Amino acid sequence: MRYRYTVIIDKERCKGCGICISFCPRGVFEFEDYLNEGGHHPVRLTGNECIGCRACVIMCPDIALELIREEIDESTYAR
Ligand code: SF4
Ligand code: SF4
């Protein structure tokens, strides 16, 4: 079974501390240009592939990240 991982970011909970940027081994995060309601630059996804290690979810002090795992339909690769 193969999986695709996606991180959901709560942009208003994020305090822009950058811990997820430091810990992500795949460079999945970068800062937004705008400020959120709390006056922080939240993070956004870069488009780099998430490997589902959960380091960002575990380390985020503001519980702003959620990891979604989806099964990949391998039959689409077999054709
Ligand atoms: S789960 Fe791992 S690879 Fe995916 S965004 Fe978080 S730290 Fe990066
Ligand atoms: S660790 Fe959490 S609060 Fe800090 S920048 Fe990442 S998502 Fe935002």
pTM: 0.92
**E-strand stretches of 1-79:** 2-9, 29-31, 43-45, 65-72
| Amino acid 71: pLDDT | 95
**28 pocket-lining for ligand 1 (C-beta < 6 Å):** yes
To test the pocket of ligand 1, the residue of 14, 50, 57, 58 to mutate (highest count of ligand atoms within 8 Å of its CB) is 50
Phi, psi of 9 (to 5 degrees): -105, 125
35-71 pLDDT per residue, tens: 999 999 999 999 999 999 999 999 999 999 999 999 9
**Structural domains of the chain, ranges and CATH numbers in brackets:** 2-73 (3.30.70.20)
| Amino acid 79: pLDDT | 52
